[in-house]
Amino acid sequence: MKGLPTSIETLREEAHRHLPRFVVDYLEGGAGQQRTLARNRAALDALALLPRTLRDVSHVDVTTRLLGFDMAAPVMVAPTGVAGMMRPGADGMLARAAARMGVPFILSAASNMPVEQVVSSGGTVWMQAYPLKDHHATQRLMRRAKDAGCVGVVLTVDSPVAGIRHWEARHFTPAGRPRLRTRIDALRHPAWLAAALRHGPPRFPNIAMELPDKSVQAERKAINEGKDPAFTFDGLARLRDAWPGPLIVKGVIDPEDVRQVASLGVDAVVLSNHGGRQLDGMVSTVEMLPACLHAAGSMPLLLDGGIRDGVDMAKVLALGAKAVLVGRVPLYGLAAAGEAGAVRAIELLLVEFRRVMGLLGRTDIIGLDRSSIASA
């Protein structure tokens, strides 16, 4: 793909140029003082790779199979809500980009395109759901996703209440209206503004599908206030019974919780702190990986939070995760250059990962294990 940036970092810079400040903050921001956002990165940076040399790495195969699905590499595109704020039609673009690169895509419950339309992009699509106060609505969304052709459900459990996000108050009044400086900044990004005006405010056709009131306000309220803060392991057990398909639980981090989730017959867990966007000050996912692996037994563990390149991927997979999820990386590409940019971001990640594997002296995913990490 000529003319597109040759590094994820450059895509990120382009994304920042295209987007007004309030969208950049939404994309990049962590909760509170962003301690956990930084800790995710610090934990990854603290790990060092230990390559083997004098090995034949003329053929490196990074393909894998997870929960019955073939993948071009052990990476999935994480669910990211309101991506339509970055580019109208974002969910379809991300899904097509993932399909083109041969990796699964997880559609956010807070996405802006009907699941039926997204699934028609092809590829392996999972539906993310939140436990909702209206339990039937959660199940209806899951069934609707299945009927549409999603392969399974990812239930996000790290958001029983909203994270504390200070940047919101910097850009919006308590009533949710953009402040004057936010409006002025939007005017300074005419390409973004023109697209946003052409398409109107993002809608939420998946989470808000059966609301009697079809207004944008009612959809926003359902997104913000619909989640069930009283959802517990009992509810998860009931969902597991009601849902025959593959079920991944995302946002668990304590080994005891991992053990309990595994005992309910959940297919996999994503160790996640929502990219540092929920509980500020909490531990990084990488720090908890060894203890959680022990607790998970034979249930696969996936991990996200701070993965930015092929080196990060290799570190996490070497420690024992079966796959990583990437949230911001594909969004950098999407915001920088639409669908082609999203393809580019995933492509760069995969190409880098393959090179890192060769440099590590490893030729397949099975061969990438704890011995590729230097112990301190």
Annotated binding site for glyoxylate: 26, 165, 274, 277
Using alpha carbons only, what angle is made at residue 208 by residues 206 and 211, rounded to the nearest 5 degrees?
Answer: 140
- CB neighbour class for 353 (10 Å; exposed up to 12, middle 13-18, buried from 19): buried
Please say which residue, 347 or 367, places its beta carbon nearer to ligand FNR: 347
Q: Pattern of binders to ligand FNR over 216-245, x per CB under 6 A?
A: ------------------------------
Q: Pattern of binders to ligand FNR over 247-266, x per CB under 6 A?
A: ---x----------------
Q: What are phi and psi of 42, to 5 degrees?
A: -60, -40
Footprint of ligand FNR on 275-294 (CB under 6 A): 275, 277
Classify each residue of 309-341 as buried b or exposed e, where b means 16 or more C-beta atoms within 10 Å of its C-beta.
Answer: bbbbbbbbbbbbbbbbbbbbbbbbbbbbbbbbb
Please say which residue, 144 or 358, places its beta carbon nearer to ligand FNR: 144
**Site size toward ligand FNR, by CB under 6 A:** 24
CB of 28 to ligand FNR, least distance (A): 8
Site for ligand FNR contains 112 (CB under 6 A): no
CB of 82 to ligand FNR, least distance (A): 7
Catalytic entry in 18, 171, 189, 274: 274
Reported in sequence order, the residue ranges of the chain that DSSP labels E, i.e. its strands, are 48-49, 64-66, 69-71, 75-77, 105-107, 125-129, 152-156, 247-252, 268-271, 301-304, 323-326, 373-374
Q: Which of 34, 121, 138, 156 binds ligand FNR (CB under 6 A)?
A: 156
- CB neighbour class for 85 (10 Å; exposed up to 12, middle 13-18, buried from 19): buried
Please say which residue, 83 or 295, places its beta carbon nearer to ligand FNR: 83
Angstrom distances, CA of residue 42 to CA of 39, 118, 312: 5, 35, 11
CA–CA gap between residue 293 and residue 314 (Å, rounded): 17
Please say which residue, 276 or 362, places its beta carbon nearer to ligand FNR: 276
Q: What is the DSSP letter of 364?
A: B
Residue 127: closest CA among 89, 147, 154, 93: 154
Binding segment (CB under 6 A) for ligand FNR, from list 13-21, 107-115, 233-241, 346-354: 107-115
Q: Give the three-state DSSP class for 319.
A: coil
CA–CA gap between residue 10 and residue 25 (Å, rounded): 18
Q: Which of 12, 96, 274, 315 binds ligand FNR (CB under 6 A)?
A: 274
Q: CA-based Rg of the chain, rounded to a whole angstrom?
A: 20
Site for ligand FNR contains 36 (CB under 6 A): no
Please say which residue, 60 or 74, places its beta carbon nearer to ligand FNR: 74
Closest-CB residue for ligand FNR? 327
Binding segment (CB under 6 A) for ligand FNR, from list 44-52, 169-177, 180-188, 298-306: 298-306
235 neighbors 264 (Cβ within 8 angstroms)? no
Residue 302: closest CA among 353, 251, 371, 230: 251
Binding residues for FMN: 79-81, 108, 128, 130, 156, 250, 272, 304-308, 327-328
CA–CA gap between residue 369 and residue 163 (Å, rounded): 35
Does 16 participate in catalysis according to the annotation? Answer: no
Q: Pattern of binders to ligand FNR over 300-339, x per CB under 6 A?
A: ----xxxx-----------------xxxx-----------
Site for ligand FNR contains 272 (CB under 6 A): yes
Q: Which of 5, 20, 30, 79 binds ligand FNR (CB under 6 A)?
A: 79
Name the residues annotated as catalytic.
Answer: 274
- In the complex, which residues of this chain contact ligand FNR (CB under 6 A)? 26-27, 78-81, 108-110, 128, 156, 250, 272, 274-275, 277, 304-307, 325-328
